[in-house]
Amino acid sequence: MGYNLSVEAQSAELRNKMVRFMEANYKSLGEMAGPPEARGKKKIEIGYSSCLHGEERVYVYSVIRWMALKVGALQSKFSKESVNPNVFADPAPFMTYDSYEHWPILVCASEKEAMAKWPKSLWWCCTDPLGIYLGERTSESVVSAVTEAIFIDKKRGALFDKEMKKLGTVPRDDKEKWEKWLAKKHAIQAKLCRPEIRAMMKKIRSEIGRLDKLWMET
């Protein structure tokens, strides 16, 4: 099964410019996602396999967001089913998941700024100026991309089990307690996987940074 991520450009001219640029400069980090392609009058799309995971998934989402920041249209209202709050005073760039779900891109200089400026419900929409996730405190995706390291490394696996026993469990029908429990679990995973997180983000920032530099020269 496949999915897609897309960007709606401000104009057909900008869309075509970006597609030509990506045809010449885009590099894939794996085999589960295709190169950016033109769709319709103004869209740029990246199709990917349902098997996409890990650093390649984080990278592809970063590529889409970077393109949206460079040539994307703006929107001020989003579906309240996925974005909350869903109305913004200043229109924001956005990406589209699987052709129907629009997600805003909220640029911040740091996680500290994002956490102070936006409610927790919007942290997952926050990126740096290149469209890259800010870090593990605001993005669950950054952590989930590397958590397999815990299960591959027996020592870290034992530490994880020990911490989870201390944490215990809470009933899922208590939403507030359940969300706090998930946040603590997330923090434990992030701490144990910090080397992998740093390596992944460094690699992605390097590649998106390369694209950004080349784009500024066009």
Q: What range does the domain containing 26 cover?
A: 2-134+202-216
With CA atoms as reference, report the closest residue to 132 among 204, 56, 73, 197.
Answer: 204
124 and 83 share a domain? yes
108 and 171 share a domain? no
- Continuous segment of H or E residues that includes residue 124: none
pLDDT, tens digit (0-9, with 9 covering 90-100), for 42-71: 999 999 998 899 999 999 999 999 999 999
Q: Is residue 119 in some structural domain? A: yes
Mean pLDDT calculated for residue range 19-34: 94
DSSP 24-53: HH---SSSSB---EEETTTEEEEEEETT--
157 and 93 share a domain? no
What's the pLDDT at 174? 86
The pLDDT of residue 204 is above 90 = yes
Is residue 93 within 8 Å of 69, Cβ to Cβ?
yes
What's the pLDDT at 120? 94
Q: Is residue 122 in some structural domain? A: yes
Q: Strand pairing partners for 96? A: 6, 102
206 and 186 share a domain? no
Q: What is the mean pLDDT of the chain?
A: 95
Q: Is residue 38 in some structural domain? A: yes
